[in-house]
Amino acid sequence: MSLGNVQLKKICWNRPSNAASQHSRQITRLYCQPPTPHVDRPMSSTIVRRLLSTDQRRLAAHFQRLDRHSLHARFGAGISPYRASLYADSVFTAEALVYGAFPDGCLRAVAELRPLPNAWPKRAEAAFSVEPRWQGRGIGDRLMHRVLTVAQNRGIRELHLLCLPGNLRMQNLAQKHRARLHRLPGQVEAHLTRPFPTPFSITQEMAGEYRALADAMFQWRR
Ligand SMILES: CC(C)(COP(=O)(O)OP(=O)(O)OC[C@H]1O[C@@H](n2cnc3c(N)ncnc32)[C@H](O)[C@@H]1OP(=O)(O)O)[C@@H](O)C(=O)NCCC(=O)NCCS
């Protein structure tokens, strides 16, 4: 949530112009295949991979598919899907590590990991978004696993996550991964500590990316 707060300070719930909403619809149409999610697929077939700047339009389309409640929970402010899709332009910076989950071949969930500059020991902020129809199916958990492994492999010792006090799902998800929760005015901060990298954690991350690559090649050949 906090990642959005930093960059979306000035953004409020604005209705996009006709041209903007037409553009949004085009993005959603182009980057939402297949249009109807197959929500009954087993989560084990969900591909989780790192997103790159070439995925920027997929990310924008994902933000546009979030409902008002999810947008509020993710960014901690009332922003429109269109404004959230503009945020996608600023996500891929040199430091940011962005991961996406593809349960039906489409980008349905995103996790951002942003290391805090000049922090020692190394610290980072994380934020998650899962599309409404895909929530409560274990995708957030898959992304959390990946983000924790990636953080560990980058020598990040502490992970911070901000969410709204009513966001029990996010709090439960964090606690499932042994987070300590701190109640602040108007928000809850979750702290997760990470051990030093191990050969196992490095292999785990590499295996995840290779699996995504192999799957992409397999789909391309079909
Ligand atoms: C919060 C969010 C990321 C969780 O992802 P998800 O895929 O829906 O969650 P999961 O299915 O992986 O559930 C993870 C855990 O949350 C808990 N959980 C699931 N559904 C829950 C519910 N309805 N109420 C409370 N806790 C719940 C469980 O502990 C679950 O673990 P379990 O399956 O082993 O029991 C997702 O719902 C989301 O994007 N919400 C909107 C945006 C947001 O809130 N972002 C967080 C701010 S950074």
Domains of the chain: 2-7+20-39+48-221 (3.40.630.30)
Rounded Cα distance between 120 and 24, Å, is 40
Please choose from 79, 112, 129, 135 the residue to mutate so as to test ligand 1's pocket, defined by most ligand atoms within 8 A of CB: 135
172 CA to centre of ligand 1 in angstroms: 7
User: Which residue's C-alpha comes closest to atom 22 of ligand 1?
Assistant: 169
- With a 6 Å cutoff on the Cβ, whether 103 touches ligand 1 is no
- With a 6 Å cutoff on the Cβ, whether 70 touches ligand 1 is yes
| Residue from 72, 48, 68 nearest 165 by CA | 72
142 CA to centre of ligand 1 in angstroms: 11
Rounded Cα distance between 154 and 202, Å, is 10
Token pair in block for residue 55: 């995925």
- With a 6 Å cutoff on the Cβ, whether 179 touches ligand 1 is no
pLDDT of residue 140: 97
**Average pLDDT, integer, range 38-54:** 78
pLDDT of residue 213: 84
- Using the atom order of ligand 1, give the atom closest to the CA of residue 141: 12
pLDDT of residue 103: 93
- With a 6 Å cutoff on the Cβ, whether 169 touches ligand 1 is yes
pTM, two decimal places: 0.84
User: Which residue's C-alpha comes closest to atom 27 of ligand 1?
Assistant: 169
User: Which residue's C-alpha comes closest to atom 6 of ligand 1?
Assistant: 140
Mean per-residue pLDDT over the chain, rounded: 84
**Average pLDDT, integer, range 178-192:** 95
- With a 6 Å cutoff on the Cβ, whether 136 touches ligand 1 is yes
pLDDT in tens, 19-34: 555 555 555 555 555 4
CA distances, 19 to each of 30, 78, 82, 90 (Å): 17, 22, 11, 21
Rounded Cα distance between 113 and 127, Å, is 7
pLDDT in tens, 115-170: 998 888 899 999 999 999 999 999 999 999 999 999 999 999 999 999 999 999 99
1: which DSSP letter?
-
Rounded Cα distance between 222 and 199, Å, is 34
